[in-house]
Structure 1
Amino acid sequence: MSSENGNCQNELAPLCHIITPVGMLGYGFLEEHVTPALEKLVGTNVPTALILDSGSTDSGPSKLALGESLLPRPSYVRDLTKLLKLVDKFHVPLIFSSAGGDGSDDHVRDMLGVIEEIAGKKGNEHYQLKTIGIFSEVKKSLILDRLRTGSITGCGSAVPALTEEDIESSPRVASQMGPEPFVDAMKANPDFNVIVGGRAYDPAPYVAYAAYIAEAQPKDAASLEGQKLWGGFTHMGKIMECGASCATPKSWSAQATIYQDGTFDVTPLAPESRCTPVSVAAHTLYEKSRPDLLYGPGGYLDLTTAKYEQLKDGRTVRVRGGTFKFSRDVGIPYQVKLEAACVVGHRTMYMGSIRDPILIGQIDAFLEHVKWYAREQHEEAEGTWELDFHLYGKDQVSALPASAGQPSEIFIIGEALASTQALATSVISAARVATIHASYPNQKAGAGNFAYGIGGKMQVEMGPCSRFSIYHLMALNEGEEKLRIQPDDEGPLFYQTVITFGKGQQVPSTNGFSSADSPLPSKRKTREEHVYPENGKPTNQTNMPMTLGDLARIIRSKNAGPFELTFDVIFDAEDVYRMVKESDILNKGAVARLLNVQEKDIIWIGFFDQAMGFKATIPRMRNGRTEPNGGFMENDVHGSQNYIELMNMKLPESFLQRWIQVRG
């Protein structure tokens, strides 16, 4: 996984530096990590930028459907106040995308308003920030036209075909811009200080800044050298947009140095963290359907030949070998992803617990009776509704001496979705009454079956319920992926606004040019030195493993977009990884049984040698049909708690015998 430490370090010419303070704007970051890094990097007179992401579909569809930001406004004010102070002090640009979480046009305007507010605060009178807003929403009339000409397909096999009703019911449609609009904005405004981007492919602003500094054009990628250059930029952006999640332990902030051939180094800024070849390669698996080919606007990143090298400091990893293939080079139209959500009804819920072991033993039949009672009470009701239940602790037993081995307690959340809030509340009220008072065979406790009233509430009205209505790819005509510089420009889908905030005298950011007045590193108290072991040594695991979790360093699950769940198993010892791979214990049939899907439903399954990892991706399912995250009956909107069956997978006897032979 690693080669000689830094043996080619002097052969590379730096192109630019990028610092990502945190993987999501609004999550907060530590200035004491970012400031020393900026002091060091700007002193090199190599172009340096602050770049970060601000968007995700992980929180579900409601924000996009309702026009609400992912985080409260004070969170953005806090982070942007810190970031703009760094922009002012170090004369570096700030670029972020997917403003407000969904990247809608309104949220780009909201973030421009936050910047204006900060620039007008007392103490910031000297600010003058040339700020570009890039807007990414697409008109529904255009999407309807493209649908009718067959130019729209689902983003993945789990995504249902798009309908005209889906388009019409969506209040707004954002598109994941590629790097082109960002590059165009930088070229048109080379003295910019801040770029606020609408919804974009997460690596897009990273790719754009590196491409802008390199003066690289997409047409250059027809050659192998061009593919490696754009591959390096894209791979770097894919890693950096999550901050230092690629480090161990993972942390907030990271920096990258990009070289003129597309090679790049990545380093975490938290002194207790380090990057290793395995930790960086493993990040490629994170929240993606597959680890080797990563599709984005206009093409795909091919990582089958990527290489990861530990450098001498023990904290930095050098990456090279990825290539980017532009779809138009092989006669395929440029595609962008469209995202939209709509309101499908209103929700009300009730919650509480049951401890009676007699009732717990027949809970499924009892809750079917509760559903029947709710239907009986609403036979004449106008509107549509459905009712279902979340059960927690169903298979747990008590450890208390008096009831050891008996069913302990079930926590129930009843959830109703209806065409109106009043109907949802009425359905839940009936269900709650039945849960409390309905009889059941062999009942002994006649005073009530259900402990409820958490927070003093009998039921809780949850408001509108949303679902993802559009998660599709739209083919673009030549030039539509670019930025409309002037309002009357024809062709490009995306447009900009340029505003200068503040009353001070503008100090140009370096934005790719050496600056004689770049601040030199200041004398700071030296941070504690950390010594890191060499990477790649097999774990000294001597105990007999019994489960897959005993073998793996990481086992995780995560959304891969709204319609898919992906599972990663990553090892830190190569002999263990090879043993698992060669044993075929993670075959398609075994994984399908563990994840409770049919083999035909598995979207991707396989091993990825660079990360010593295994990945499987499946559709998100409810009641036998595909359902995107965040809708009715969601209980893990992030998808992060679905890995337990894999972790607890029992190792077969044949594997244990092989383990004894190899490990002794």
Structure 2
Amino acid sequence: MTVNIEITERLDEARFISATGALGVGVHEPSLMAALESRPHFIACDAGSTDAGPFALGSGRAAFSRAAVKSDAAAVLRAGNKADIPVLIGSVGTAGSDIHVDWMMDIVREIIEEHGWSKRVAILKSQQDPAYLEALYNAGRIKPLNPAPEIDGGVFARSSRIVGMMGVEPLQAALKEGVDIVIAGRCSDPALFAAFPIMHGLPEGLSWHAGKVVECGTLACEMPRKEGVIVGTIRPNEMLIGPVGDNLRCTPLSIAAHSLYENGDPYLHTECSGILDLTNSKFEPVDEKTVRVTGSAFRDKPFTVKLEGAEQLGFQSVMIGGIRDPYIIRQLDNWLGKVTEYIHRSVEHVLGDQITRDQYRLVFHIYGKNAVMGSLETEQTAGHEVGIVTEVTAPTQELATQIVKMCRQPLLHAPIPEWKGAITGFACLHNPAELERGPIWRFNLNHVAEPDDWRDMFRLEIVQIGGAA
């Protein structure tokens, strides 16, 4: 499908505020209120991403606490109410599935009722119907990105939840309804900022680039701090980006650097309806804290929607401890290899009628030796102690816990040639040593769908909260 942009009222410029890099990490309300002096047309912020891992999408829970999200949302909505401008919040509840949108709407209702407001709210949902996706897959209209796991038609039914990442089109449909607040499921972060200027006739390239730069809030600044917000202006031939807040400034270097952030290609950034092209972008200082950007372009491409899915892997139990014995540390890999084989033999002997080796996973994460970078680590120097997280994943919680319990004794007393007689070389952090993590998930999709229309994948509802408009 191709998307025709419907231009509403044309504007010479569109002004906006990026209130925070992620709803729940903090909003500096004094700076936000001060930024209203720029007479913005809207305020936007995102509330999630895949950065937090598959847990939020799989479980339906949020990565940030409800109290933190409510505090930030209340500050943003107070600013929107004071200026009488729309507020857009996307990827709510971290992963943006339907359960996250409903959770966020409960918070929004509370805030509106506590303040005695009357607000018209657009609800955009992005969770996908497995049967619909399977039909697209069978029609050859779901394509892998790079890298992507191998999938079959059953992956959609196996998934706990699947969301599509919306672009500007659903957001523009909501804004055209004249709403006060937009609460969106999984959403392209830059789309939250690009939707309004594009629908008012301003350049797509500059609009998308502005969104790309400001979606992380003051992380676009040199020496970023939480205590501030970002303001932006989109004009026919330029965009201006700068902060409001003490000791904050944007520079050509900081804005150019954030243009590269979280992207595999330094120049081309793919969105639903096209590709942001920064090949000819130019970054110049306007003053000591504001940057002008020109030359950013937007290429057409067939309309696609990125899919994100999570499926349950099993259940997990862990045990945390440490080793300080220098003789064990010198031969740690060999020692852990022997411990591992001992544990596998024990599991086979004790639980062999319930589980086989290929049905569970035993991993030792060695903090102090390659735990953070894994095989990419170049620094091999070990310290005087190492922390070891023993991790067991199994089909049931009971089996995961039984197996991790069987790891404690060999870790405590596995011998080495340097010591004679019984030794204890491993110290457990907790008592009891085992900790049950519960169900765990993995991402199972890195693909794009090719729908007939964006409305096939995203749903818009308008509600009135707090009385008549």
Residue 315 (str. 1) matches residue 308 (str. 2): no
Q: Is the 8 A contact 1:231 1:262 kept in 2?
A: no
Match of 2:265 among 270, 290, 293: 290
| 1:239 equivalent in alignment to 2:213 | yes
* C-alpha deviation, 1:99, in angstroms: 1.2
Tell me by how many angstroms 1:467 deviates.
Answer: 0.3
2:394 is the counterpart of 1:418? yes
| Separation of aligned partners in 2, 1:460 and 1:271 | 44
1:110-509 to structure 2, matched below 5 A, reads 110-121=103-114, 124-125=115-116, 127-156=117-146, 158-187=147-176, 189-190=177-178, 192-214=179-201, 229-252=203-226, 253-259=229-235, 261-311=236-286, 313-327=287-301, 333-379=302-348, 380-383=352-355, 384-394=359-369, 408-444=384-420, 446-452=422-428, 454-477=429-452, 480-481=453-454, 483=455, 492-503=456-467, 506=469
What code does the residue aligned with 2:19 have? P
Q: Deviations over 1:475-494 (max 9, x none)?
A: 122xx12x4xxxxxxxx432
Equivalent position of 1:219 in the other structure: none
Q: Given the two structures, how large is their TM-score scaled by the length of structure 1?
A: 0.64
Distance in 2, matches of 1:232 and 1:186, equals 20
- Partner SS, residue 95 of structure 1: strand
Q: Does the 8 Å CA contact 1:239/1:283 hold for their aligned counterparts?
A: yes
Whole-Å Cα distance in 2 between the matches of residues 459 and 381 of structure 1? 23
| C-alpha distance 368-90 of structure 1, shift in aligned 2 (>3 A) | same
- Give the aligned partner of residue 607 of structure 1: none
3-state SS, counterpart of residue 387 of structure 2? strand
Cα pair 2:361 2:392 within 8 Å, conserved: yes
**CA deviation map 1:446-492 (0-9, x unaligned):** 2412111x243311111112100122111122xx12x4xxxxxxxx4
1:51 to 44, 50, 58: 44
Kindly name which structure, 1 or 2, has the bigger radius of gyration based on alpha carbons.
Answer: 1
The equivalent position to 1:41 in structure 2, one of 28, 34, 38, is: 38
Structure 1 contact 244–250 (Cα < 8 Å) conserved: yes
Q: Tell me, in whole angstroms, the C-alpha distance in 1 between the residues paired with 2:52 and 2:16.
A: 27
- Once the 2 structures are TM-superposed, how far is the Cα of residue 262 of structure 1 from its aligned partner? 5.0
The alpha carbon displacement at 1:445 in A equals 6.7
SS in 1 for 2:148: coil
How far apart are the structure 2 equivalents of 1:317 and 1:35? Answer: 22
**Partner letter of residue 20 of structure 1?**
S
Contact kept, 8 Å, 1:41 with 1:48, in 2: the verdict is: no
CA contact (8 A) 1:357 1:407 kept: no
- Show the counterpart of 2:377: none
Question: SS of 1:120's equivalent?
Answer: helix
- Structure 2 CA distance, aligned partners of 1:212 and 1:444? 77
The verdict on how the C-alpha distance between 1:116 and 1:394 changes in structure 2, with shifts beyond 3 A counting, is: closer
3-state SS of 1:75 partner: helix
Checking the alignment, whether the CA contact within 8 Å between 1:306 and 1:322 is kept in structure 2 is yes
Query: 1:540-579 to 2 correspondence within 5 Å?
Result: none
Secondary structure of the equivalent of 2:105? helix
Mark the CA change 1:95 to 1:406 in structure 2 (over 3 Å): closer, same or farther: closer
Native 8 Å contact 2:415 2:423 kept in 1: no
The amino acid of 1:495's aligned partner reads R
Alignment-mate amino acid for residue 62 of structure 1: F
Q: Which amino acid counterpart does residue 326 of structure 1 have in structure 2?
A: D
Aligned equivalent of 1:66:
59
Which residue type is aligned with residue 382 of structure 1?
A: Q
> Do the aligned partners of residues 372 and 251 (structure 1) sit closer, same or farther apart at CA in structure 2, a change above 3 Å counting?
same
> Shift of residue 394 of structure 1?
4.0
Amino acid at match of 2:399: L
Matches within 5 A, 1:508-519: none
d(CA) in 2 for partners of 1:70 and 1:391? 25
**How far, CA to CA, are the matches of 1:474 and 1:466 in structure 2?**
22
Q: Which amino acid aligns with 1:201?
A: S
Deviations 1:300-323 (CA, angstroms, capped at 9, x unpaired): 111000011101x31100111111
> Cα offset for 1:420?
1.0
Q: Report if aligned partners of 1:251, 1:268 keep a CA contact under 8 Å in 2.
A: no
User: Which runs of 5 or more residues in structure 2 are unaligned?
Assistant: 1-10, 371-380
Conserved 8 A contact 1:394-1:409: no
Give 5+ residue unaligned stretches, structure 1.
1-12, 217-228, 328-332, 396-404, 484-491, 507-664
The alignment status of 1:90 with 2:80, answered yes or no, reads no
Match of residue 656 from structure 1: none
Distance 2:182 2:118 in 1: 14
Write the deviation string for residues 324-356 of structure 1: whole angstroms up to 9, x where unpaired: 1110xxxxx311101110111111111211122
Distance apart, 1:29 and its partner CA: 1.2
Deviation at 1:75, TM superposition (A): 1.4
Q: What do residues 631-661 of structure 1 show as CA deviations (whole Å, max 9, x unaligned)?
A: xxxxxxxxxxxxxxxxxxxxxxxxxxxxxxx
Partner Cα distance (2:410, 2:26) in 1: 46
3-state SS in 1 of match to 2:219: coil
Q: Given residue 139 of structure 2, which amino acid in structure 1 is its aligned partner?
A: T
Q: Given the alignment, which residue of 8, 15, 19 partners 1:17?
A: 15
Percent identity over paired residues: 31
How far apart are the structure 1 equivalents of 2:137 and 2:383?
Answer: 54
Give the corresponding residue for 2:6: none
C-alpha contact (below 8 Å) 2:168/2:192 kept by paired residues? yes
Match of 2:373 in 1: none
Question: Is the 1:52–1:95 contact (alpha carbons within 8 Å) kept by the matching residues of 2?
Answer: yes
Residue 294 of structure 1 deviates from its aligned partner by 0.7
TM-aligned CA distance change 1:165 to 1:443, over 3 Å: farther
Determine helix, strand or coil for the equivalent of 2:13: strand
Alignment partners' CA distance in 2, 1:16 and 1:456:
58
Secondary structure of 2:218's match?
A: coil
Alignment partners' CA distance in 1, 2:103 and 2:390: 37
Q: Kindly indicate whether the alpha-carbon contact (under 8 Å) linking 2:131 and 2:156 is maintained by their aligned counterparts in 1.
A: no
Q: Matched residue of 1:244: which SS?
A: helix
For the Cα contact (< 8 Å) 1:357–1:406, is it kept in 2?
A: no
Task: Decide which of 107, 114, 126 is 2:100's aligned counterpart.
Answer: 107
Q: Measure the CA separation in 2 of the matches of 1:361 and 1:90.
A: 64
Contact conserved, 1:338 with 1:470, CA < 8 A, in 2? yes
Q: Cα deviations across residues 272-312 of structure 1 (Å, max 9, x unaligned)?
A: 1111111101111111112111111122111000011101x
> Could you tell me which amino acid in structure 2 is paired with residue 41 of structure 1?
S
RMSD: 1.8
